[in-house]
Structure 1
Amino acid sequence: LKIRTTVNVTLAEKKEPLRKILALVPGSMLTFDVHCDRQLTLRAGGHPIATGETVKIGDKFGLRVREIGVPKED
């Protein structure tokens, strides 16, 4: 149980043309077509293990786990 593994939560993803990525400068904005309150998937070692919602904890963000197990496909 002392083995460490990477855990991550991806807020949003999308594909953009490389020219748009190369044109980014400080202050550039990227918009994503997802609602900020949508349910997120927690992954451990690349595998989905739970779902939850974003929470603000002081000046940081976290994930409040709502359901353990493999998330259902939409």
Structure 2
Amino acid sequence: MTIRTLAEVGARLEEAVRSLPGDGHDLFDRYEMVAIQILDSEFPDFAPGLLERYLSAYLDLKRLELGSGPST
């Protein structure tokens, strides 16, 4: 497992969100939906907890970037 692999997860997340239809209003919801799909499909490929922590931090940063409110 390398940092590059986590970076690839982030790139796939961004690419998948860009390909989804919709406007910016529900953009964060789309990030969450895709992150969950990635977590469900790729969790065996990472050390326990690593992918979850990465995606959680990624979503926290996106929430701040998009002004979608505080973390829950």
Q: Give the alignment's TM-score, normalised by structure 2.
A: 0.28
Higher strand share: 1
Structure of larger gyration radius: 1
Task: Name whichever structure is richer in helix by fraction.
Answer: 2
TM-score under structure 1 normalisation? 0.27
Flag the structure with more relative contact order, 1 or 2, with Cα contacts below 8 A and sequence separation at least 6: 2
